[in-house]
Homo-oligomer: A and B are copies of this chain.
Amino acid sequence: MASAPDFSLSCPIPIQNYPQVLLAHGGGGKLMHQLIEQMFLPVFGRPDVSHDASVFAVKGDRLAFTTDSYVVNPLIFPGGDIGSMAVYGTVNDLAMAGARPLYLSAGFILEEGLSMETLWQVVRSMQAAAQQAEVEIITGDTKVVDRGKGDGMFINTSGIGVIESKSEISPHQVRSGDAILINGDLGRHGIAIMAVREGLDFETTIESDSAPVAAPVLRLLEAGVNIHCLRDLTRGGLASTLNEIALSSGLNLHIDESLIPVREDVRGACEILGFDPLYVANEGRFVAFIPQSDVALALSVLRETSEADIGASVIGQVGKQATSEFSGQVSLTSQIGASRILDWLSGEQLPRIC
């Protein structure tokens, strides 16, 4: 049906600046934030996204629903592969909503010519990961695209979880004075992948520490820790996540670089590769905002739950309401005591890391 052009239907992303999709539109930084805020949310109509999973109720049960596509390159890397990531990543998005993960879907987009053995290895890895994370993969789909129109394999997993806790976990619950915790050291996952991709050989191989975190989160809730906000540190790393929360909450956040655990080998690899570990993607690391009174309990719970969580640390605290001039900024006190603004990732630091 021919109809007059409707101005309200014009593309909300300025076409003169961005006529085409850039890698950075998927990178977890400013451009991706803009695409989601300006194009997807107004159209799909749930403007209040407090975490990656969306919460809905069916006859009184609160359920969480989330989706993620995995396009990591290479498909198999030290410490993991696209299959285990596809399970952990979606499980972790559910956990960040305080949900107990129950069911996953698995949608495969295979490129013609993919080795059948590779597919089998990835499928087995998904099975093992699902067992570890205590979820069932209950529905699936397989598409094959012509050679040269894909990249081996992409996997989408969507997940459903049930929210048993009464806590409201959201950036809007963050309060001035809250402690900012992370559950372990940063950067191993992203650097493990980048090292393979760049063909770098370190003295010892840095392995991805990607892992499911539903169990520690549920244990924090069961122990009575009053979690105000949770977010996993994937694309864009700690820096981007904190900026998102500062923006949503309208509060300034302060962190202290000397309190942030980064392994020496990861720090060294970051220097060689030219990355800042605060922007490197993780899978299995999260930031939690909790009242100071619950810090000791939270740390003891986290340090009990898994080897990876031994590095659980308080890295800073929530400051005052942002002034009208700046809406929620993140400031960092560096190792040498200087203070600076920790900005959004601009551009694409690490493409196809998840």
The residues of A with any CB-CB pair to B shorter than 8 Å are: 9, 11-13, 15, 18-27, 32, 35-36, 39-40, 43-46, 49, 52-54, 56, 58-59, 61, 63, 65-71, 73, 102-103, 105-117, 119-120, 123-124, 126-127, 130, 136-146, 148-151, 154, 156, 158, 160, 162, 351-352
Contact = CB atoms under 8 A, between A and B. Distances in A.
B148 A148 contact: yes
A65 B139 contact: yes
B150 A65 contact: no
Contacts of A45: 136-137
A65 B156 contact: no
A146 B137 CA distance: 29
A113 B144 contact: no
B22 A112 contact: yes
A15 B103 contact: no
**Lowest 3 A-B CB distances belong to which pairs?**
A26-B144, A67-B105, A158-B158
A109 B145 CA distance: 13
Given A58-B58, A151-B149, A123 B40 contact: yes
Contacts of A54: 103, 138-139
Contacts of A124: 9, 43
Given A15-B117, A52-B139, A23 B71 contact: no
A110 B26 contact: yes
A28 to B, nearest CB: 10
Contacts of A36: 140, 142
A46 B139 CA distance: 8
B107 A58 contact: no
Contacts of A140: 36, 40, 44, 67
A136 B47 CA distance: 13
A126 B103 CA distance: 25
10 contacts: A18-B116, A19-B115, A21-B112, A21-B116, A43-B127, A54-B103, A56-B102, A67-B105, A141-B156, A145-B352
A139 B71 contact: no
A66 B156 CA distance: 12
Contacts of A56: 102-103, 138
Given A114-B21, A142-B26, A142-B32, A156 B69 contact: yes
B113 A20 contact: yes
Contacts of A114: 20-21
